[in-house]
Amino acid sequence: MSNIAVRLSNAETNCELLEIVKDIEAHTRDSPERSVSYAHCLGGLFSNSSSLVRKGSLNSAVIVIATTPGSWEDLIAAYRYAILSPDREVSQHAITFLPQFVAASLENADSLIKAALEAVTRHPASSSIHIHVSQAMEVVKNIGFFKLSSR
């Protein structure tokens, strides 16, 4: 078990979790190629009661997904779970990261956007949440256009 995993399992408060997440974020930014080792620790934090813990873990996950293709299936599944969370706050917070997740993992864009649309139907959302879904769709449109035009 990695040092981070041990620290996470021993953390008793959200303050302790936040410190660990900050360490993960720093390591992920400094050395994205080595961040794969933290990937298994991040998914469970996407639904944490603390928005700061969620934010840090989601930021780190986007970096892991963008820099280490093929190592993120569990992160995408955990992210989809957070989007579809019965907790409205968790769900909507996850949706605010949708454009970044879509850009980092275009092959999962369709399922992530569908999950977000299901979530905003289930949990009435403010217009700002709908904007994130629209931005994710725009990312798909722009990247898809770029890929087609570069052939």
Q: What is the pLDDT of residue 148?
A: 39
Quick count: other Cβ atoms within 10 Å of Cβ 8? 20
Contacts of 31 (CB under 8 A, 6+ apart): none
Task: Tell me what pLDDT residue 138 has.
Answer: 93
Whole-number pLDDT of residue 103? 94
Residue with tokens 């979530």: 119
pLDDT, averaged per 10 consecutive residues of the chain (151 residues), comes to 80 93 88 76 93 95 86 90 97 97 93 96 86 93 59 43
CA proximity to 58, closest of 46, 50, 40: 46
Q: What would the CATH number be for the domain defined by 3-149?
A: 1.25.10.10
Look at residue 144 in the predicted model and tell me its pLDDT: 64
Residue 27 is predicted with a pLDDT of 85
The structural domains of the chain, with segments of one domain joined by +, span: 3-149
